[in-house]
Amino acid sequence: MSQYLKRRKKLAQCQRFGGTSGISSSREIVVGYVDSPPTEALKELNKTGDIKIIKHLKEIKAIVLNIPDNKTEKLKEKLKGVRYIEEDGVAYAFGFSNYTDVQWNVKMINAPRLGRLFSHIWRRAFGYGVKVAVLDTGIDYKHPELSGKVVYCINTLGNTLYKGTNLRKCADRKCHGTHVAGIIAASLNNVSAAGVVPKVQLIAVKVLYDSGSGYYSDIAEGIIEAVKAGALILSMSLGGPTDASVLRDASYWAYQQGAVQIAAAGNSGDGDPLTNNVGYPAKYSCVIAAAAVDQNGSVPTWSSDGPEVDTAAPGVNILSTYPGGRYAYMSGTSMATPHVTGVAALIQALRLASGKRLLTPDEVYQVITSTAKDIGPPGFDVFSGYGLVDAYAAVVAALSR
């Protein structure tokens, strides 16, 4: 087991968003099977036709069901020899609104220095198809700063998976995903705000409803489909308070495929170093967990803390893209995450442009954490991890390997 894998309740029961109002009489259950799905047992249990198969995640051997409350116990009795039967968890976007071109946040992580140092390969660096998947509420692909950069859409909400180039299927009505995407890829055009890596290609993965929340199983499917669509880096400015097999399995599957995953640590910090409040999937060992800092390099009390925090990035009053061609300030570890995502994209793109192979997730983790600027107590700390991410130092270190 590699060093990268050294690290390792309660959710409201709810129907899929957009359903009828009132208290639900059914719930979402995830069944993880061993070799083959328990088809016959489900047929026997479903003689009345009130159990619905929402999705089948073959890559991680899991089925998501919508099942009446009164059949939950019967399900556990009937389905023998399965790996797990768990209620589907709910995750939330970790950002909130606060209503020049290169802003302080991009300067703070030393990204502008890279364009000058590597000008000889900068233009061709992103001709190698480096794709970043933004798992969120969707992206406003018509925004002037993002136009032409969103190359693919994946929508995992509900029981109908969409994947293709109809970008309307990934329209952002919450605003959160568009803001995250802008931090990664907004154009360098002397208008409002520029992203960390303006030339990258984006895959919009709509895994959260317009409410800003969504099921773990939808996120798990989004992780799997994004990797299958060619995403090298997954940016997840979301999370929930509980562990879940379906999400953990999907994250580890993506790691095994070589995808770098970055997720928001969460906005549940309390300033107590003894309290671990990092959310999932950031808490998983194969995910880089990002905490937030303000313009002075201080970690706000609301930024989640714990031993799983790996690095920190600007996350307070960040100006970025907003649906309808607008711009807005938002705060949260949701905003810190895409800064780290952008650095990971720079590492991989500039290595390819230099004729080098892609780094493994373990290697990207090691480069980012070993080059981070220590901003807290000497060494690792639970608030900022190994320190403030440094794009310049990370890329230089990555190219020297």
33-51 per-position pLDDT tens digit: 999 999 888 888 888 888 8
Q: N- to C-terminal Cα distance for the chain?
A: 22
243-279 pLDDT tens trace: 999 999 999 999 999 999 999 999 999 888 888 999 9
How confident is the model at residue 118, as a pLDDT? Answer: 56
Helices (H), 8-166: 39-45, 72-78, 104-108, 112-117, 119-122
Q: Give the span between the Cα atoms of 315 and 333, in whole angstroms.
A: 6
Give the pLDDT of residue 3: 38
Q: Which are the contacts of 174, defined by CB distance < 8 A and separation ≥ 6?
A: 93, 137, 138, 208, 209, 210, 211, 212
With a pLDDT cut of 70, the percent of the chain lying above it is 88
**Of 213, 268, 334, 384, catalytic:** 334
Task: Tell me the mean pLDDT per 10 residues along the chain, length 401.
Answer: 34 29 69 91 86 94 91 85 92 69 79 63 61 97 94 95 97 94 85 81 96 95 98 97 97 98 95 89 98 96 96 95 93 97 94 92 98 92 96 94 90
Q: What is the pLDDT of residue 223?
A: 98
How far is Cα 267 from Cα 316, in angstroms, rounded to an integer? 12
CA distance 386 to 141: 34
Q: Give long-range contacts, CB 8 A cutoff, 24+ apart: 373-382.
A: 375/293, 375/297, 375/299, 375/312, 376/299, 381/273, 382/273, 382/276, 382/305, 382/306, 382/307, 382/309
H or E element at residue 259: none
Classify domain 13-88 by CATH number: 3.30.70.80
pLDDT of residue 178: 97
What gap in Å lies between CA 247 and CA 281, rounded to an integer?
7
HEC sequence for 73-93: HHHHHHCCCCCEEEECCEEEE
Question: Domain residues of the chain, as ranges?
Answer: 13-88, 92-399
125 contacts 350 by C-beta, under 8 angstroms: yes
What are φ and ψ of residue 211, in 5° steps?
-75, -15
Residue type (1 letter), 336: A
198-246 pLDDT, tens digit per residue, is: 889 999 999 999 999 999 999 999 999 999 999 999 999 999 999 999 9
What gap in Å lies between CA 175 and CA 141, rounded to an integer?
12
The single residue of 176, 218, 237, 381 carrying the catalytic annotation is 176
Active site residue 179: no
The tokens 């995403």 sit on which residue?
231
The pLDDT value recorded for residue 4 is 35
Q: Tell the residue number behind the tokens 């803001």, with chain if given.
A: 179
Identify the active-site residue in 88, 136, 140, 381. 136
Active site residue 176: yes
| Residues contacting 171, CB < 8 A, separation 6+ | 138, 140, 141
Residue 307: is the preceding peptide bond cis (ω within 30°)?
Answer: no
Query: How many other C-beta atoms can be found within 10 angstroms of the C-beta atom of residue 24?
Result: 17
Given CATH 1.10.3720.10, say whether it is the number of domain 92-399.
no
DSSP assignment of 215-239: EHHHHHHHHHHHHHTT-SEEEE-EE
For 324: left if phi > 0, alpha if psi spans -120 to 50, otherwise beta; the answer is left
Q: What is the pLDDT of residue 239?
A: 96
Same CATH fold assignment for domains 13-88 and 92-399: no
Q: How confident is the model at residue 348, as a pLDDT? A: 94
| Phi, psi at 79, each rounded to 5° | -90, 90
Encoding tokens for residue 16? 């899929």
Phi, psi of 42 (to 5 degrees): -70, -40
CB distance 314 to 172 below 8 Å: no
DSSP E strands: which ranges in 287-325?
288-293, 309-314, 318-322
User: 67: closest CA among 105, 33, 24, 34?
Assistant: 24
Residue 147: name the closest of 92, 105, 201, 94 by CA.
201
Record the tokens describing residue 328, joined without a space.
């807005």
Identity of the amino acid at 50: D
